[in-house]
Structure 1
Amino acid sequence: MKFGPAPLDSAEDAILAHAVRCGGRIFKKGQILGAAEIAVMAQFGVASVTVARLEEGDVAENDAAMRLAEGLRGQGVIAAPADTGRVNLLAAHDGLAIIGAAPVDALNRITEDVTVATLPNLAPVSAGQVIATVKIIPFAVPESSLSAAVDAAIAAHLDVYPYLPLAACLIQTVNDGLKPSVIEKTSRVTADRLTRLGGRVGGETRCAHDSVALAGAIETALVASPDLLLIIGASAIVDRRDVIPQAIEAAGGRIDRLGMPVDPGNLILLGEVRGTPVLGLPGCARSPARNGLDWVLERLAAGIPADAGDVARMGVGGLLIGRQEEKDYL
């Protein structure tokens, strides 16, 4: 591609590199100059303009951006029309954006002419939300560079996994110190949380906060074959020998992990009872504010496992709220 200043009278059919204002009219960057545009500029005394001219083997910015976008576009992703060398990739439905950092990094290293910016991996998205944007930096890209970038884009394909209509059973343990208003709020918040993910609370049970009563409630809940068991205790789970873990094991289940490196949400439990995933909820699950439970629920709703190893890798970025400064130590 040729680029640089040119006399106005030799700029026909070239691409205008920078906007030019002539009276009340603006000729925009990227506009192809025709005889009419040149005539107007001449009337206002413009003598030269900075332009770009494509050469053989060059691919225009919009065509290049669209080819890259089509390479990146995976399951549940649609491409918007190209404009000024940019194509936005949008979620076709609600779900989780699946984005591999290493393949996207590899694509961005091929040439500085091509850039791809994305949301973080596993970001929850809504239908129509931009999950990535492709931007071509110059007005054209050599075919050789573009072909390599398109191959990398195909390898880095971006997906949006849809949420599955999970039916969960909620079990709340109660004691004399737990206010009825807190119990009712927990029911509402949990139902809303699942609804946002395309699921529902298929049933709710309340029982005393002891392992025998809770084991019985788990047995009863399993009769309905829920996709997921959610258990929130009258008090938080602080040890594998606490009420909720003991009840899960008494009902024939196992504990995969207690605790996660996400705050708020540290005191979560992941387990399984007779093939049904079970989550022991942290106290912050009573609030609609985003917390570690959402990270786990979103994965499960999108059909992505969340095992102990997955949870252990959530620490970077897992500080969801800024803690108050320890000013005494500054």
Structure 2
Amino acid sequence: MKFGPVPLERAEGAYLAHAVHTGARRIAKGKRLDAADIADARAAGLAELVVAALESDDLHEDAAAALLASAAAGPGLTAQPPAHGRANIVADTAGLLLVETAAIDAVNAHNEAVTLGTLAPFAPAAKGEIVATVKIIPFAVPEPLTRSAANSARGVLRLAPFGRRRVAFIQTTLPGTSAKLLAKTAEVTEARCAALGLAAWREMRCAHTANALAAVLAETADADIVLISGASAISDRRDVIPAAIEQAGGAVLRLGMPVDPGNLLCLARIGTRPVIGLPGCARSPRRNGFDWVLERLWAGLDVTGADIACMGAGGLLADVPRTEPRRAAMIH
């Protein structure tokens, strides 16, 4: 691509680099100049214009953006028509965005002229939401460069759609547990699940003992996901909730997660059923580590202890009130 000021007689057919005013008329940036544009510029006293002129192997910014966006948009995603060198990629339905991070980096390493930006990996997206955008920086880029970047971009993005899930929700109680607290926790948790696509909801309650909870867990075989909100926070693998899960024939995959709020989450499985022991912060609708795990399960993704171990980068969630750590006593 050639770029720079040229005399008016050589500007026709090129793309205007910067908007210009010719009396009462404004010629927009990026317009392909025609004879009328040149005549208006001349009448306004201009002798030259700054333009971009495509060469034989160049792709216009819109064509390049469309090519790259179409390659990057995998299942569950659609590349929208380009404009001004930009093509957005949107979600076809509600789900989680899956991103090949290293491949995105490889696309952007091709050349500074080609950019692909996305939401964070595993970000939830609503139907029609923009999850990624391609922006071509100059007015044109060489076609071989664009096709190479598009080949690197193929399959780097896809959407895991949220399904319809049946949930068994168990709350354990101790003497003095507030009925108001139980009702509020159930309301918040059901709303969380309903936002993702709830097929059925069953709430159950039992005493906060391993035996009582194990007995209730035996009644959840018809659920896709089992959620347990304990009357007391889980503090050890031998505590009530992990012990009850094992007593019911399950296995604890991970106790604790490097996400705050959400540290005291318990991830387990009974047969093929995922079981989550909720952290105390899940009583609030504010986003926390529980949402990260629940959304992946709702999108049909397997979640392992190793997956949770990898959630630390970015796991300190912003704009969340935190308890101030106890200060060490001053030594005199």
Matching residue of 1:158: 157
Please tell me whether the aligned partners of residues 15 and 51 of structure 2 are also in contact (alpha carbons under 8 angstroms): yes
Q: Does 1:218 align with 2:223?
A: no
| Secondary structure at the counterpart of residue 52 of structure 1 | strand
2:273 to 276, 297, 306: 276
Q: Which runs of 4+ in 1 moved over 3 A?
A: 321-326
| Separation in structure 2 between the aligned mates of residue 81 and residue 275 of structure 1, nearest angstrom | 42
Instruction: For 1:77-96, list aligned pairs within 5 A.
Output: 77-96=77-96
Query: How much does 1:201 deviate?
Result: 4.7
Query: How much does 1:321 deviate?
Result: 3.4
Query: How much does 1:82 deviate?
Result: 0.7
1:263/1:201 CA distance change after superposition, 3 Å: farther
1:205-257 Cα offsets, whole Å, 9 max, x none, are 111111111111111223xx211111111111111111111111111111111
| Separation in structure 2 between the aligned mates of residue 127 and residue 54 of structure 1, nearest angstrom | 37
| Separation in structure 2 between the aligned mates of residue 162 and residue 314 of structure 1, nearest angstrom | 21
Letter in 1 for 2:127: A
| Separation in structure 2 between the aligned mates of residue 26 and residue 228 of structure 1, nearest angstrom | 60
| Separation in structure 1 between the aligned mates of residue 225 and residue 128 of structure 2, nearest angstrom | 29
Query: How much does 1:7 deviate?
Result: 1.3
| Secondary structure at the counterpart of residue 291 of structure 2 | helix
1:299 to 288, 291, 296: 296
Of 244-253 and 294-303, more deviation after overlay is shown by 244-253
Matching residue of 2:166: 167
| Separation in structure 2 between the aligned mates of residue 8 and residue 151 of structure 1, nearest angstrom | 39
Letter in 2 for 1:76: G
| Separation in structure 1 between the aligned mates of residue 7 and residue 151 of structure 2, nearest angstrom | 39
Instruction: For 1:1-330, list aligned pairs within 5 A.
Output: 1-154=1-154, 156-222=155-221, 225-321=222-318, 323=322
Letter in 1 for 2:168: C
| Secondary structure at the counterpart of residue 64 of structure 2 | helix
Please tell me whether the aligned partners of residues 90 and 128 of structure 1 are also in contact (alpha carbons under 8 angstroms): yes
| Separation in structure 1 between the aligned mates of residue 272 and residue 9 of structure 2, nearest angstrom | 76
Percent same amino acid among aligned pairs?
Answer: 49
> Unmatched 5+ residue regions in structure 2?
none
Of 58-67 and 6-15, more deviation after overlay is shown by 6-15
| Secondary structure at the counterpart of residue 231 of structure 1 | strand
| Secondary structure at the counterpart of residue 63 of structure 2 | helix
TM-score by length of 2: 0.94
Query: How much does 1:314 deviate?
Result: 0.3
Please tell me whether the aligned partners of residues 264 and 321 of structure 1 are also in contact (alpha carbons under 8 angstroms): no
1:151-182 Cα offsets, whole Å, 9 max, x none, are 1111x531111001111100000122221111
Query: How much does 1:200 deviate?
Result: 4.4
| Separation in structure 1 between the aligned mates of residue 54 and residue 174 of structure 2, nearest angstrom | 75
Please tell me whether the aligned partners of residues 169 and 229 of structure 1 are also in contact (alpha carbons under 8 angstroms): yes
Please tell me whether the aligned partners of residues 190 and 201 of structure 2 are also in contact (alpha carbons under 8 angstroms): no
| Separation in structure 2 between the aligned mates of residue 90 and residue 298 of structure 1, nearest angstrom | 19
Letter in 1 for 2:164: P
1:36-73 Cα offsets, whole Å, 9 max, x none, are 11222222222211011111111111111111111111
| Separation in structure 1 between the aligned mates of residue 111 and residue 323 of structure 2, nearest angstrom | 43
Question: How many positions carry a matched residue from both structures?
Answer: 325
| Secondary structure at the counterpart of residue 203 of structure 1 | strand
| Secondary structure at the counterpart of residue 221 of structure 1 | coil
| Separation in structure 2 between the aligned mates of residue 29 and residue 253 of structure 1, nearest angstrom | 64
Give RMSD over aligned pairs: 1.6
Letter in 2 for 1:275: T
| Separation in structure 2 between the aligned mates of residue 260 and residue 201 of structure 1, nearest angstrom | 28
| Separation in structure 2 between the aligned mates of residue 249 and residue 324 of structure 1, nearest angstrom | 32
| Separation in structure 1 between the aligned mates of residue 26 and residue 177 of structure 2, nearest angstrom | 67
| Secondary structure at the counterpart of residue 9 of structure 1 | helix
Letter in 2 for 1:305: D
TM-score by length of 1: 0.95
Letter in 2 for 1:191: E
